[in-house]
Structure 1
Amino acid sequence: MSALISADDVVQYLPLVAVTSGSALGVLAVLWLVRYLMADAAHRASIRQAVRIRLRWKRLAPMLKLAATDRTPTAMDSLSTTDGKPPKPRTLVPPLKVRHDAYGVIARAGCLPGVGLEEYQKAAPYLADAWRCTRVAVTQDTPSHVLIRGVRLDPLTTATRHHPTGRAPEVAARWDLGVDEYAQPVTVDLTQVPGVTVAGLPGSGKTSLINRLMSDWAPSPAVQFACADGKVTTAYEGDYAHLANRMFAFVGDDLEAANVLFRRLVKLRRDRVAAAPSMLGGPDMWQVGPSESWPLVVLIVDEAHTYFRDHKGSDKETKRLAALAAENARLVEDLVKKGRAMGILVVLATQKSTGDAIPTFIRDVCPVGLSFAQKTSDAAVAALGEDIRNWPDADPVNLQGRSYVGVAAMNHPTQPGFLRIRTPLVTSDDSAEIAHRTAHLTQDPATLLPRIPPRIGLGKAAPDEQSGPLAA
């Protein structure tokens, strides 16, 4: 938010400085002038917008029925009335404080008798016209105040970029997603969340979203990553190659290698169940939170359909692949349904999250779902559920086009309905830098557990998993 002050700018405003600089009010005006001149073009436009709103509010509020009429005479009215006529009613205009940002303005308005949240919400479309905003939203701030958010620039069509800080997150398992259509930050608390689904057409923003998650969480030793990427053959190619040295395990599109990884993580879950009483003091990791000795394990399954889709055919090889796909689905189901308390989070990404891509017995138990652009309503329903039909404005079918790359719809756990979110671009160079700087934090979470003695009398054990990191 900085820009060089040009000579033309200074000359233009010198008369104002000369007139006002002799008083305390003038000093304030000079400070505002300097702030304005130091701002970039977007903030300057918002500053001018905020000034117009303040100057016109007392006239605009009564027009929109956002003012109250006081007909009760006061003691001063009685003293000032000499002709015996009742005093004129007074118009009370709610107080308004306005601040700005690059997208528009945020106003805090008072409430009056008969003028509350409902009245402000009814007036929102007219406030948008009067304030020259793309859209206006009104929410309750305190019992006596409302918050009015007006956006001049549409945050959904304004591309943004995120530069990872390289600092460990202050709050465990908080996923910073981006901003909503009113430029308000959107975060999701992934504590006690077993799984997340991410859907969308190729190139719509899925990989950048996951890149941000990994880049923001990678500086924490309390998080470890594993990845199955169905688009590639090895860890040295594809969208996650630059992050591979921050993963304790990575597999490509080979179903058998993926099966080994999923078995390995299921074994980790079982071993953690056995170790939890002694290491955690209870059966739920989230009661104490992730730590370096018991990290949150994040499994990324990209192009998830690669590992689960049915293989049609009667030849021996096809039957083998079909059996592997069925077992992969069963293993991931185990992780999603039983891994939450043990600190295992599964993120499944695919283009179209229909039942053949992500089995419904996995997809439907993932409480957090996002969808970037989709081509059909059926694909949108598969990604977000039937309720998306009742929210046509948020339908990801409407997110096709270059201006909406990076925009997703989601069912936020703490809000009704659906949000549209502008997720920022995270470049591979930025995330590669973070992965390089944090590679020393990578460790296999299985090696952090005490040696678990064989369990006896519990029936036939599952086939043993390979030990040690996979190719990365």
Structure 2
Amino acid sequence: MTLNDVGQGMGYAPFLVGVGLAAVAVWAVWWVVRYLRADAMTRQSIRQAVRVRRTWKRLAQMLKLCATDKMPTALASLANTDGKPVKPRILVPSLKVTHDAYGVIARAGCLPGVGLEQYKKAAPHLADAWRCTRVAVTQDEPGSVVIRGVRLDPLKFPTEHRPTGSVPEKVARWELGVDEYAQPVSVDLRQVPGVTVAGLPGKGKTSLINRLLSDWAPAPWVQFACADGKVSAAYEGDYYAWVKRMFAFVGDDLEEANKLFKRLVDLRRKRHALVQAVLGAKSMWDVGPSEKWPLVVLIIDEAHTYFRDYKGRDQRSKDLAAFAAENARLVEDLVKKGRSVGILVILATQKSTGDAIPTFIRDVCPVGLSFAQKTAEAAVAALGEDIREWPDANPINLQDPAYVGVASMNHQSQPGFTRIRTPFVPDEWAEEIAHATNHLTADPAELLPAVDLTKTDPDDDGPVPLAA
């Protein structure tokens, strides 16, 4: 290399420095603009994320989240000319931090001896150091952990949900809201025969169901029916806007409800008779719901209305008691036998004790949620005995007005119970979706080929579908 070549190389240096400075300036402007455009809560989270990154190396060592490597590297061994022992290296886990309005989300690397358990043990200290209300540590892939720190309690901030009017991307996925770490919570209702929703009046039960209707109504693969025990006629209640998107609706009349439940049991029997011939499978979920074979969702609000044990010797009381007993038997049939042919029952009541929802129905429903409850008995009835072991998630602690719309549930993807903030769907938004999707309503029974349930096939003793 000649001096001239060196001089030419030196001539590029100012240009490269200028490019580097320009890139730094662009990044700084972008960061400042993003900060200024953020709301006050997000700005605080941005500052929090910067502080977490800046202090991580020192904090990790203080909390013993580091590893000591006593074996010198090859380069260190070559550089060691005086024969003294090489100092061990302190390995600090990598940390990438993002933020949202509620706090920070950090992905930390794992090291030998520093894994999920060590991070969980350090979580309370991380919460103090990062000035968070709570910190949760999970592992979504080998070699790293996700540390979620919330500065503000997401459960205390009411939220609204604006339905998109689009067909859901995932079939039978119920988006519920966010948990106590502001992470989205959903429940997969495929292969689920029944759901129970309990809670005191005005705490969020109907709003929760309203979101399901708003999100699922645009899908041609779902049809709804409803029995609303709070009203005598649809115009009196919460589901008036949805009546035209439902193929059937009844109020608190036990006889009318009985007719609806019989109608759905008859649909269940016909579907069982035809599922193999029409779908080529023993279960609808093997192929998924479709416009011709939709998922049927039966909503029973204030379910205790239809199962109440009427007392009295007069004829009217006897008639009501008979209807209630048969209603329980019919709904039991739907919950226990309807799953494979695409029938889902959602039962909502204030207190899901055995007198409100018979235990032979309630205990078969694998998904249960509970808004605020006044007694431990009601909490156990809604969520099972295990809720006693999770006092922080017990719905008896949700009676404060700040927790309207907050429910406890047994999470499908993790052990124990979690609390979720369910969003409110304003009536005008729900009405828009209901009006736009009315044309999708169809009676599932009318979509089926004819079937004679009185005839049986001598080979399998089952009903014989009539020729098309």
TM-score by length of 2: 0.91
CA contact under 8 A between 1:173 and 1:191: conserved in structure 2? yes
C-alpha distance in 2, partners of 1:79/1:173? 63
Matches within 5 A, 1:121-132: 121-132=120-131
Deviation at 1:239, TM superposition (A): 1.1
- Deviation for aligned residue 1:71: 2.1
Once structures 1 and 2 are overlaid, which stretch shifts more, 280-289 or 298-307?
A: 280-289
Map 1:34-53 → 2, pairs under 5 A: 34-53=33-52
Find the counterpart in structure 1 of residue 147 from structure 2: 148
Deviation, structure 1 residue 85? 2.8
Bigger mean CA deviation after superposition, 407-416 or 318-327: 407-416
The alpha-carbon deviation at position 202 of structure 1 amounts to 0.4
Q: Which residue of 2 aligns with 1:31?
A: 30
Corresponding residue of 2:271: 272
Partner of 1:376: 375
Shift of 1:208: 0.6
What CA distance in whole angstroms lies between the structure 2 residues aligned with 1:413 and 1:59? Answer: 37
* Cα deviation 1:126-168 (Å, max 9, x = unaligned): 0001111111111113221111111111111121111100001
The residue number in structure 2 matching 1:242 is: 241
Residue 208 of structure 2 corresponds to 209
Does the CA contact (< 8 Å) of 1:302 and 1:348 recur in 2? Answer: yes
Residue correspondence of structure 1 range 315-394 to structure 2 within 5 A: 315-394=314-393
State percent identity of aligned pairs.
74
Q: Is the 8 A contact 1:200 1:352 kept in 2?
A: yes
Tell me the SS of whatever aligns to 1:341: helix
Query: How many angstroms does 1:83 deviate by?
Result: 4.5
* Superposed CA offset, 1:407-459 (max 9, x none): 1111123321111111111122111110000001011111111122351479x
Deviations 1:72-111 (A, max 9, x none): 2234334444554323222211111001111111111111
Q: What is aligned with 1:9? A: none
Between the aligned partners of 1:90 and 1:201, the Cα distance in structure 2 is 58
Rounded Cα–Cα distance in structure 2 between residues aligned with 1:417 and 1:409: 10
* AA aligned opposite 1:353: S
Alpha-carbon distance change, 150 to 454 in structure 1, aligned in 2, over 3 angstroms: closer
Query: Is the partner of 1:455 in helix, strand or coil?
Result: strand
Partner amino acid, structure 1, of 2:247: F
Q: Which moved more, 1:111-120 or 1:338-347?
A: 111-120
Q: Distance in 2 between matches of 1:400 and 1:231?
A: 22
Name structure 2 gaps, 5 residues minimum.
Answer: 1-18, 458-468
1:257 alignment counterpart: 256
Q: What amino acid does structure 2 have at the position aligned with 1:417?
A: G
State whether residues 281 and 287 of structure 2, in contact with CA within 8 Å, keep that contact through their aligned partners in structure 1.
no
Q: Distance in 2 between matches of 1:284 and 1:76?
A: 64
Structure 1 distance, partners of 2:284, 2:67, is 54
Distance in 2 of aligned mates of 1:213 and 1:363 = 20
Which one has the largest radius of gyration?
A: 2
Matches within 5 A, 1:448-467: 448-456=447-455
CA contact (8 A) 2:270 2:453 kept: no
Q: Tell which deviates more after alignment, 97-106 or 197-206.
A: 97-106
| Separation of aligned partners in 1, 2:365 and 2:77 | 68
SS in structure 2 at match of 1:115: coil
Match of 2:407 in 1: 408
**Distance (whole Å) between structure 2 residues aligned to residue 66 and residue 415 of structure 1:** 25
User: Does structure 1 residue 296 correspond to structure 2 residue 295?
Assistant: yes
Query: In 2, are the aligned partners of 1:208 and 1:427 still within 8 Å (CA)?
Result: no
What is the CA distance between 1:26 and its match in structure 2?
Answer: 2.3
CA distance in 2, matches of 1:337, 1:78: 71
Q: Is the 8 A contact 1:69 1:92 kept in 2?
A: yes
Which AA in structure 1 matches 2:93? P
SS in 2 for 1:186: strand
How many residue pairs were aligned? 440
Q: SS of the residue aligned with 2:50? A: helix
What TM-score, normalized by structure 1, do the two folds share?
Answer: 0.91
- Aligned mates of 1:79, 1:296 — CA distance in 2: 70
Matching residue's letter, 1:213: L
Match of 2:313 in 1: 314
Of stretches 220-229 and 21-30 in structure 1, the one that deviates more from structure 2 is 21-30
Secondary structure of the 1:329 match is: helix
